[in-house]
Amino acid sequence: MPVLTPDSALSLGATWSQVRRSAHERAIAAPFPTIDEETWRYSRIGELDLTTFAIAETPTTITGASSQVTVTQVPASSASVDSSLADLFAQSTSTDLFNSLNLAHMDVVVVSVARGVVASQPIVITHTLNGDGSVYFPRLVIDAAENSEVTVVERFISDDGVRSLVVPVLDARAAQSARVRYLAINELGDKSWQIGEHDSVGERDSDTLLATVALGGDYARVSTAARLRGQGSNTRQVALYFAGGTQMHDFRTLQEHAAPRTTSDLLFKGAVQDTAKSVYTGLIKIHNNAKGSVAYQTNRNLTLSHGAWAESVPNLEIETNDVKCSHASTVGPIDEDQLFYLESRGVNPDVAQRLVVLGFFDEVLAQLPVGNLAAPLRQRVAQKLSIGDRS
Amino acid sequence: MSTLEIRDLHASVGKKKILHGVNLSISSGEVHAVMGPNGAGKSTLSAVVMGKTGYTVTSGSVLLDGVEMLGIPTWKRASAGLHLVMQYPTEVPGVMLNDVLSEALKGRGRDGDIARLDTLLKTEAGRIHFDEKFLDRPLNVDLSGGEKKRNETLQLSILKPLFVILDELDSGLDVDALRDCARRVMDATSEDSLGALVITHYSRLLTELRPSKIHILVKGQIVKTGGPELADVLERDGYAAFTPAEVAAEADAKDDPMGLNLFP
């Protein structure tokens, strides 16, 4: 089985807490996934050989920390570990291979906000993943206490040509009435892989936003699960993804309603050009105690080239009648009528297509938790668009 | 002085022939109405002149000052001076009015107007009572029927084409919006010598947009051309009076793939 060997894991040092050790045991017990499993269907998991990567400590910089927020950084090599940190992971018993590998080898950043505190500026965490043949396991815990508010941006960066693998996990916890906003930005180079996971748990009347902007990577996957555990809690998941060349973006989403009067809203918008691929599969799961809940799920995809391919599979699993649910999913080229409208004003077709694609993404950009990132990200999308590049 | 001339225009959608030889000619500053019942080919005529995909022109010409427009792309027809005000303006999410107008003016080499576009927009919005808050909306998104037509009229007044086709300007429009839009078009015919081809089903629009000529389009052909008094005849007698038997029979025969003309 091509997972990391126990020796490579244990060689990391003396900080091997019980959490890491048992995670490691779960990792080596976990079968390597195949595309026969529904959650890996359409993926490129078959191309991944973990034995070709060496574990490296994640190079991370953090800005925006202030006295309002406690930011704790504990790399895997750290000599001592606070017992309270280990307690944070006591409940983490996922049997998923990549989640377990992350837990076993994680370089941890914990962002915690005390009760009633509103963090006025976003925390920005940047991972620069330029080790050729390196695998990185960053883990971010956002711990928002009762009625607190925090915004965290996590950037994943690598240079083109660097064959690195990052297996990040986000673990966001919003206590009663807390507001947590998170944005992941994938700016990886053209040879890097990402297999990531975003998990959030919302307690009573909490509000969480999990946002993703994916532009980079060779194969970049994020599984995002928003769990509503307290009544009246609310969550939003939004994503903008745009793959070109031979890139593939792969999203798996879960909106889980496990308490009454919970609301979830998901908007994922993607585009593929050249021979790029994208996958979206999403599940709304409403437990029978989640009466009076509302869930929306929308996935829209633009295929900008004949060789590009996008898949969209929405699913519902509802155990109670007293809910309002809707899902919508589309895959297709740019709308002909929209193009005709712009061209009939005298806009040349290349410019018209660019305007329509950028307009398509604006709905997501407008919902990002850090408003002033919308313009530069829009610019990045515009630069990547190959429409009109044929000269 | 410019001329838009439509000559013996035949067009189909799929295998169905819609236009059976349309002829008309309009000059700068003129207002002509094309009136016809449902299914006469009014919207097909406007789509074909503007070059919308999905329509096949089988023969004929659309000449702008003698230059053939058929076969050149839509955006170049627009830059050359043709403009279409759509019956149902398309919503284009996330695309802003001023971005589109900037690009459209850039294609026409009107850099001076790009520089003062904000001022132009406000002035023109004021003339047609278009609320300035709508200037910052994505194109036509969440606009009412009346606001959409005001938005179309606003674009027309800024782009200043030589000729405009107003495709059912009156559909989905309240009386106030209709008056605002129609008066702005009439002003443009005198201020900018705009030529306007007004396509409509009903004569009510023509009390505001006063045509010098009315063309009656039935089954893909102009069956009668006359002065404004023709609208009153239509109002009184309906379109049936303008459907000569030979036209009806000919058109029916063309629509009859088996050649079984059972009801000549």
pLDDT at B240: 81
Token look-up 């059976």 returns B20
- Residue B185 within any structural domain of the chain: yes
Which pLDDT belongs to residue B238? 85
* Per-residue pLDDT at A18: 80
Residue B254 has pLDDT above 70, yes or no: no
Percent of chain A exceeding pLDDT 90 equals 86
Residue B150 lies in a domain: no
Q: Does B127 touch chain A (CB under 8 A)?
A: no
Paired strand residues for B197: B32, B165
**Among A85-99, A256-270, A370-384, where is mean pLDDT lowest?**
A85-99
Say if A375 is an interface residue toward chain B (CB within 8 Å): no
* Residue A368: pLDDT over 80: yes
Tell me which residue of B68, B121, B84, B66 sits closest to A345, measured CA to CA: B84
**Over residues A34-49, mean pLDDT:** 96
User: pLDDT value at position B82?
Assistant: 98
Assess if residue A360 is contained within a domain. Answer: no
Lowest average pLDDT, out of A114-123, B137-146, B158-167, B211-220, goes to: B137-146
Asked whether the beta carbons of residue B138 and residue A359 sit closer than 8 angstroms, the reply is yes
Residue A186 pLDDT > 50, yes or no?
yes
Residue B249 confidence (pLDDT): 52
Instruction: Reply yes or no on whether the pLDDT at B157 is more than 60.
Output: yes
* Mean of pLDDT values over B234-255: 66
In a domain, B101, yes or no: no
pLDDT for B203 equals 84
Q: Which residues of A touch B107 (CB under 8 A)?
A: 346-348
Q: Which tokens is A138 given?
A: 């960053």
B55 within some domain? yes
Q: Do B93 and A363 touch (CB under 8 A)?
A: yes
Range(s) of the domain holding residue B215: 3-94+161-254
Looking at every residue in chain A, the average pLDDT score rounds to 92
pLDDT digits (tens, 9 = 90+) for A254-280: 999 999 999 999 999 999 999 999 999
Q: What pLDDT score was predicted for residue A6?
A: 44
Contact with chain A for residue B103, Cβ under 8 A: yes
Question: In this predicted model, what pLDDT tens digit does every residue of A201-248 receive, in sequence order?
Answer: 999 999 999 999 999 999 999 999 999 999 999 999 999 999 999 999
Minimum distance, in Å, between the CA of residue B21 and any CA atom of chain A:
24
- Taking contacts as CB-CB distances below 8 angstroms, the residues of chain A near B142 are none
Query: What's the number of domains chain A is made of?
Result: 1
User: Would the pLDDT of B168 be above 80?
Assistant: yes
Q: How far is B158 from chain A (nearest CA, A)?
A: 11
**B232-239 long-range contacts, CB within 8 A, separation 24+:** B232/B203, B234/B35, B234/B203, B235/B203, B239/B36, B239/B37, B239/B40
Is A2 a residue whose pLDDT tops 60? no
| Residue A342 is assigned to a structural domain of this protein | no
| A338 with B90: Cβ contact below 8 A | yes
Q: Is residue B263 part of a domain?
A: no
Task: Name chain B contacts of A348, Cβ cutoff 8 Å.
Answer: 75, 103, 107
Touching check for B95 and chain A: CB below 8 Å?
yes
Return the CATH number at B193: 3.40.50.300
Residue B105 lies in a domain: no
CB contact under 8 A, B104 and A345: yes
Provide the percentage of residues in chain A whose pLDDT is more than 70.
94
Inspect the interface and report whether the beta carbons of B79 and A346 lie closer than 8 Å: yes
Interface contact A336, partner B, CB < 8 A: yes
Task: Tell me: pLDDT of A7 over 50.
Answer: no
Domain count, chain B: 1
- Beta-carbon separation of B73 and A358 below 8 A: no
* pTM attached to this predicted model: 0.90
The distance of B40 to chain A (nearest Cα, Å) reads: 22
- Backbone dihedral angles phi then psi of residue B70, each to the nearest 5 degrees: -65, 135
Instruction: Check if B74 contacts A (Cβ < 8 Å).
Output: yes
Three-state secondary structure readout of chain A: CCCCCHHHHHCCCCCCCHHHHHHHHHHHHCCCCCCCCHHHCCCCHHHCCHHHCEECCCCEEEECCCCCEEEEEECCCCCCCCHHHHHHCCCCCCCCHHHHHHHHHCEEEEEEECCCCECCCCEEEEEECCCCCEEECEEEEEEECCCCEEEEEEEEECCCCCCCEECCEEEEEECCCCEEEEEEEEECCCCCEEEEEEEEEECCCCEEEEEEEECCCCEEEEEEEEEECCCCCEEEEEEEEEECCCCEEEEEEEEEECCCCCEEEEEEEEEECCCCEEEEEEEEEECCCCCCEEEEEEEEEEECCCCCEEEEEEEEEECCCCEEEEEEEEEECCCHHHHHHHHCCCCCHHHHHHHHHHHHHHHHHCCCCCHHHHHHHHHHHHHHCCCCCCC
Least confident range from A272-276, B5-9, B133-137: namely: B133-137
Instruction: Please check the confidence at residue B172 and state whether its pLDDT lies above 90.
Output: no
Using the 8-state DSSP alphabet, how is residue B33 labeled? E
pLDDT at A69 > cutoff 50: yes
Rg (CA), chain B: 19
pLDDT tens, A118-162? 999 999 999 999 999 999 999 999 999 999 999 999 999 999 999
Task: Using an 8 Å CB-CB cutoff, list chain A residues near B139.
Answer: 341
| Residue-level pLDDT at A85 | 75
Instruction: Give B-chain residues touching A362 at CB under 8 angstroms.
Output: 93-94, 138
Counted across chains A and B, CB pairs separated by less than 8 A come out at 84
- Domain that includes residue A316, residue range: 6-333
Query: Which pLDDT does position A81 carry in this prediction?
Result: 67
- Residue A352 in contact with partner chain B when CB distance is under 8 A: yes
Residue A12 has pLDDT above 80, yes or no: no
Query: What pLDDT score does A245 carry?
Result: 97
Does residue A179 fall inside a structural domain? yes
pLDDT band, residue A390 (cuts 50/70/90): low
- The pLDDT score that the predictor gives to residue B262 is 46
pLDDT score for B247: 55
In a domain, A250, yes or no: yes
Low-confidence winner among A90-94, A139-143, A328-332 (lowest mean pLDDT): A90-94
Q: How confident is the model at residue A79 (pLDDT cuts 50, 70, 90)?
A: low
For residue range B112-131, list pLDDT tens digits in order.
Answer: 999 999 999 999 999 999 99
CA–CA–CA angle A368, A369, A371 (5° rounding): 75
Q: Would residue A182 count as lying in a domain?
A: yes
Enumerate the residues of chain A whose CB falls inside 8 A of the CB of residue B94: 358-363
Determine contact: A388 vs chain B, CB below 8 A. no
Is the Cβ pair B75, A356 closer than 8 Å?
no
Q: Is B204 a domain residue?
A: yes
